[in-house]
Structure 1
């Protein structure tokens, strides 16, 4: 195994820490809770745990407003507890990835407190400060992701400060070398504690136009849409200068890699393929010096049809620079859950797709048991996104509800009152119940697919080959080390006969989303409605048994 095998061929599992496991009864998940569930993660078969922010925070945006980059919020635990978690994870062969939030701090961070104290303060230029427009309003037309202008007036100094999100989240000035040096030291702080990598929050937005020009209007904007989309973010996202910063981050992280294990950077980037792949950082010498895994979110946004996904995968594979590692994501803490988007039957197809495509898959906690979005009444809403834009359906609470562990009180998540309400089906739809159903449950399917991915070299590190099939069937092969496995996914509500030409000689079903599917194929292969299968040859199975 090479030093980068764990992130190139492994599986990343995202934990939203408030919702994974509470160890002290306060209704909020914590580090000791994650530590108590490590054996579950090992049994699932994942390789790395990505933990959303756990730093000290006033929690205006639930941890993405950070008041100290180099400590642990008491709600989640302590630095000693974090060290114990990393040690226990490593002893089990699990890697630990942290969220790195470079775009902004909390307005209570000591840096910003200093910065706003006076125009002459030495940290004034650590943030984006601008004089008012001639009419006294904001300096330009930039808008916040969470609603309203991206500028707030500070009456005591008479200038506006910029914030891409809440006014409690002032943006750092990444054009200032002192800011870069301080933030790179944050990376080193956690790398010295054994962290294996970082998921970098809103990476494309961290540097802004030096002239602070107005963004142009969006010609495709339709009244009734989120007002955020009224303007094209030409001058405050995805600027060319960000690539230099990405390369600098990569060098910081690479300094902690060795021949046994490389550290990884994962970029949060909601960009089309043509722009996304630029963040791999292909330089003039043909080396990749950017983030190793620019997050590919296209499966979250695309229409759930075989032909659309077939085109999407082909386009992505064609856009990747030489030597780049692909990756795929079905869901995260900001988007509706896959089972809510496509339904439980199709969520099984989605699981097979995610775990058989070429590249690093990322799982979102709870998707492996088919958790769905939970409707949150207006008086229980926690998410500032929803509070700032009520009635637009932008709230992220529904996909952040507590993990459903068992039929015990509060689904085994806490002995207290959960910070968000549970799904109505938690008594029957949980890890414990699905663990007893080793054939038909979603959890059983995930465990089987992950085990198959580990066992079969063609799935683990083989190439991708698109295959032609009927309109409602997505077909592709994975080839590697003398193996050829065929994946057939029926997106249709009708049975789908498969051409024998698609199948290997002596075909055998290595996995199916249908628990009733027999292992050996007798006669023509006909997929059931919404069935997916992984087909190998008898010799392939025999080889993995030895």
Structure 2
């Protein structure tokens, strides 16, 4: 076996070209050649507010992102997905958009955006924007017109309903951010629907004028050079009208996946993407989507979206609600991910993620972020990137950034966490310390603290005061220190990205879960006509002394997160990739 432990001076590590295997026959080669470009791509999500601040105002911006493009190119990513950079009152950190056609001044200008796109393209990096069209800000011109009078032409651009006979809301739907999903507008005497914050009224996609306005906006961004869209909660655009107006009015939830959803997405594809080249990427974030639904959404013959974000696997460590964390059940997690692998194997495509702007930090959530931070960060990287699908890296994941533990709720900024804390403490009399502990574990601000670039003041993120405090562990955990280390998470991610770019089996091979009931061993196969790859990972603080599912005595060790030491058992949080 060759040395494959990743370090900056690991000259013995085999090259990506050596790791790639030539197709066994012309059929396999043709299939690999015909596969969409994004089957070999890796996407990097940037949360602009927290990535890099170029002007010292404490908020990340477009020019800050531009200054880090060489870093992203060195990492090897193919796509940068930007969380919203449009004008916004920032009630939900940019997901409440007041103008779809411009850039929020705190992030820069349209000319700054154009420069970012151009310079990214020069490096072979595509730019994907967040598309937030289930709702707008209540400060958007469309909503201001809509709420101005009962007979305004844009009244029907949003969901307005009269109170029930007793004056209550039209139904019992609740907001994703706590409280009712309906707010009474005193001026017009009607309620408007907001599945998220009250400052985020839902658009009425049943109105064709709304749809055409959205499509026109999307076309303008594509004309500007944007390479696609990540579509925020896109399956919520089709409402189940019978739960709003019918005799059995909805309570709680049940508002997703209205009957028109496929019609809307097909229309969007025809109106926005038809006739253009095939270089665009569309991914739909879809809470509650099933595997069967996802297969339809991502079936290339249907013309809807390329892939979806589903939430099943990131809900498995939650009890009755998000802020009720429970320990990781590895059997449940790997079984769930395997179901999606099998379910979309013949038709459709998976997105692969364990981190994003809405999730806690991976190494703290599913790993050991103290004694085995490097090992558990790289274990989960290997496991995720060797699944079949398009991997998504969230900023800081590639250096093993961890959750933050602010001592007071006053240090948190996320509306979801603040509303939950207020409701739990004030309305349900839960002990503040208990609520804060849950926010420590599951709050979205874990992912939103500033990117940790170096050990200088404010982690090199800003020369000013950051909009949210930097994680105090930045002197030890930062990009500069990680890349200089002999155990570099960044270098490990580079290697995984190279494998996806060069190895047909990693990109397109079949998936088979092994040892599905083992509580600490995560093992699976990736196979093609020309190659068999085995992944084994010990998700535990203790050594794994059992037998591996297959004989690896004569196998080639392609990649591992420990120095090679004979054929010893898997060490704590050790992961290995073998070629059989």
Identify the structure with bigger relative contact order (alpha carbons < 8 Å, sequence gap 6+): 2
**What displacement does 1:309 show?**
3.4
Corresponding residue SS for 1:99: strand
Asked if residue 466 in structure 1 is aligned to residue 513 in structure 2, the reply is yes
Match of 2:531 among 479, 483, 500: 483
Matched, 1:270 2:287: yes
Question: Structure 1 residues 215, 243: CA separation in 2 closer, same or farther (over 3 Å shift)?
Answer: farther
Runs of 4 or more consecutive aligned structure 1 residues displaced over 6 Å after TM superposition? 214-218
Q: Distance in 1 between matches of 2:67 and 2:33?
A: 30
**RMSD, aligned CA:** 2.4
Determine if the alignment matches structure 1 residue 302 to structure 2 residue 316. Answer: yes
1:243 aligns with 2:265: no
Deviation at 1:310, TM superposition (A): 3.5
The aligned counterpart of 2:572 is 529
Contact 1:299 1:329 in 2 (8 A): no
Pick from 385, 390, 403: which aligns with 1:355? 385
Conserved 8 A contact 2:159-2:193: yes
Aligned counterpart in structure 2 of residue 434 of structure 1, from 457, 482, 497: 482
**TM-score, length of structure 2 as denominator length:** 0.83
Structure-2 separation of matches of 1:214 and 1:513: 57
Cα distance in 2 for partners of 1:269, 1:144 equals: 16
Cα contact 2:47–2:357 (8 A) shared by 1: yes
String of CA shifts for 1:511-534, please: whole Å, max 9, x gaps.
1122x224xxx4x45211221100
The residue number in structure 2 matching 1:323 is 347
Deviation at 1:499, TM superposition (A): 4.8
d(CA) in 1 for partners of 2:523, 2:477: 31
* Separation in structure 2 between the aligned mates of residue 193 and residue 183 of structure 1, nearest angstrom: 16
Q: Aligned pair in 2 of structure 1 residues 250, 412: CA closer, same or farther (>3 Å)?
A: same
Per the TM alignment, residue 325 of structure 1 is displaced from its structure 2 partner at its CA by 1.7
Q: 1:299 to 1:42 in 2, by over 3 A?
A: farther
Q: Provide Cα deviations, 1:466-498, integer angstroms capped at 9, x if missing partner.
A: 334855322212223512211111123433356
Who is 1:416 aligned against? 464
Aligned residue in 1 for 2:430 = none
Match of 2:395 among 357, 365, 369: 365
Q: Gapped runs of 5+ residues in structure 2? A: 1-31, 318-327, 425-434
Q: 2: distance between equivalents of 1:496 and 1:91? A: 46
Aligned pair partner of 2:418 in 383, 387, 400:
387
Mapped to 2, the partners of 1:500 and 1:268 lie a distance apart of 36
SS in 2 for 1:335: coil
Q: Give runs of aligned pairs for residues 222-237 of structure 1, distance below 5 A.
A: 231-234=251-254, 236-237=255-256
Paired residues for 1:88-127 under 5 Å: 88-127=119-158
* Partner residue in 2 for 1:222: none
The alpha carbon displacement at 1:506 in A equals 3.4
CA apart distance, 1:321: 6.6
Q: Which runs of 5 or more structure 1 residues have no equivalent in the other structure?
A: 219-230, 538-546
In structure 2, C-alpha distance between the alignment counterparts of 1:305 and 1:352, rounded to whole Å? 19
CA–CA distance in 2 between the matches of 1:495 and 1:169? 49
Structure 2: distance between partners of 1:205 and 1:464: 31
Report if aligned partners of 1:511, 1:533 keep a CA contact under 8 Å in 2: yes
- State the shift of 1:232 in Å: 4.8
Residue 241 of structure 1, CA deviation: 1.5
1:340 Cα deviation from its structure 2 partner: 1.6
- Aligned partners of 1:253 and 1:264 also within 8 Å: no
TM-score by length of 1: 0.88
* CA–CA distance in structure 1, aligned partners of residues 533 and 217 of structure 2: 44
CA contact (8 A) 2:296 2:348 kept: no
* CA drift at 1:306: 4.4
Q: Is structure 2 residue 97 aligned with structure 1 residue 66?
A: yes
Give the number of equivalent residue pairs.
513
In 2, the alpha carbon distance for the partners of 1:158 and 1:19 equals 40
Kindly tell me: are residues 533 and 216 of structure 1, through their superposed partners in 2, closer, same or farther at Cα, counting changes over 3 Å?
farther
Deviation at 1:404, TM superposition (A): 0.2
Matched residue, 2:493: 446
Is 1:287–2:301 an aligned residue pair?
Answer: yes
1: CA distance between counterparts of 2:162 and 2:115? 47
| Deviation for aligned residue 1:8 | 1.9
Q: Does 1:252 align with 2:295?
A: no
